[in-house]
Chain A
Amino acid sequence: MKKTILAAAAALSLAMAPGAFAQEPLKVGVAAEPYPPFSSVDSAGNWSGFDIEIGQAICEEMGRECVTTPVAWDGIIPALTSGKIDMIVGSMSITEERQKVIDFSDRYYYTPAAFVAPAPVEVDTDSADLGGLVLGVQSGTTSAAYVRKAYPDAEIKLYNTQDEVNADLAAGRIDVMLADQAAMVEYVKTPEGSQFEVKAVAPEDEAFGEGIGVGLRKEDDDLQADVNDAIAALLESGRYDEIAGQYFEFDIYGGRE
């Protein structure tokens, strides 16, 4: 009797999930440096945030098991291409430069970058030297690529993490910072960020790419198709808005009627 059940179970599992049967859990790469509200980590090492939840929802939609794997941001693309992780769900903008090395899913959100500065500071975003202001930005981001191009004469400071940019803006070592609008809108609401204001939103630029997508290896075409289907399904079912509603007061997907 026992044997028949085992045999039946084995046959069933083989029949049901030819692919999923031997599949390893997918390693979902996130930036090891927290980036609230997209990703943050508690003292026990549990990750939460919009990116994390969307990543999990995509995995559930695909019927795959996933593990959140933190990787240092400036090494996250090499980590993907070398197979240490299988996908990047880390607020990564889809850009031409990155597309030379990796593929992206369809976008899962889109926000432009915003200039943030202490309330009394005037930010002249039209002059090539930013009116002599010192600007801080996290290196390896679309914001960094944009300011290096748009403000060739400005003094630009590059940081490893957004936290350090925030700290130095508070300490007055930089006058203004440019970072993702969604993160900045939240930041100026926090106690540390309350002395700052969103001064301007950066214009649309190719440096900012086509929005934020899931980063994937070029050869993983099947996974890319699955992820795209999953994102479409999440948008369709309303699950996306359910998750986004917990974090944002505006439509983070952008461009929807």
Chain B
Amino acid sequence: MDFDWLPRYWPLLVEGFWRTLWLVALSGVFGFLLAIPVALAQVAGGRILAGLSRAFTTTIRGTPLLVQLYLVYYGLGSLMADIPAIRYGPLWPYLRDGFWYATFAFTISVAAYQGEIIRGGLLAVPRGEIEAARAFGMRRSRILRRIWLPRALQVSLPALSGEAILLLKSTPLAATVTVIDLFGAANVVRSETFLTYEPLLFVAAVYVLCAFVIAVAFRLIERRVPSRRGL
């Protein structure tokens, strides 16, 4: 085992680590916010919205994330490059950067997977609770905000925690579209030092740590959410 390279590549690895965290945070948050309407559309959205949402979920969950990422980066990204208004427009510095394509692709993926989990959560809320709320004279929007959605999310938390960890472990795909995340940084080390195991073992350890932190964070949230256990 040779870890002499570690001090020399430390700044690169730290930079990569932060990029990985940003990828997880941005796509996790935006994906979650999108997942709620995706779930609601299927449970309470009427036939057309439910159909659209189901088609979205099936398509995204049915195709490999790497394929989606390539479609977005090499497909959509190249299409945009052909439009002069975009290519010479003010947003081009962002639109040429692989990071935002990766964030977009991961967000969509999170929306589909988490949407399905939240849908399950919404269906798992006992009808009696919603009927009780209605008996109190609450309107639909208020029932959703105060009773249905909070209860559904509470039910979904353990599964959402798993999804967040899966998202973390999907982020190395971003390295294929030029994003130097933690894994991308390890690849730079690998190609410049020709060490195979050490850089990979190092980042594997960092990923385990991150996954552990995510798991603990979700457990803390679960504990803070009041619930009647052992019904």
Contacts and interface: CB of A to CB of B under 8 A. Distances in A.
Interface string A135-154: 01001100011001000000
B58 interface: no
A158 B191 CA distance: 11
Contact residues of B: prevailing secondary structure: helix
B178 A100 contact: no
A171 interface: yes
Most buried by B among A97, A100, A101, A168: A168
A78 B196 contact: yes
Interface string A163-204: 010011011111000000000000000000000000000000
Interface range, A side: 20 to 34
A98 interface: yes
B96 interface: yes
B193 interface: yes
A6 B142 CA distance: 96
B1 to A, nearest CB: 16
Nearest to B97: A173
A74 interface: yes
A153 to B, nearest CB: 13
Contacts of A159: 178
B104 to A, nearest CB: 15
B45 interface: no
Interface of A: 74, 77-78, 97-98, 100-101, 134, 136, 139-140, 144-145, 148, 157-160, 164, 167-168, 170-174
Interface of B: 74, 77-78, 81, 87, 92, 96-98, 176, 178, 180, 184, 187-188, 190-194, 196
Given A74-B187, A78-B196, A172-B87, 10 more contacts: A77-B194, A100-B194, A140-B191, A144-B191, A148-B192, A159-B178, A164-B74, A172-B81, A172-B92, A173-B96
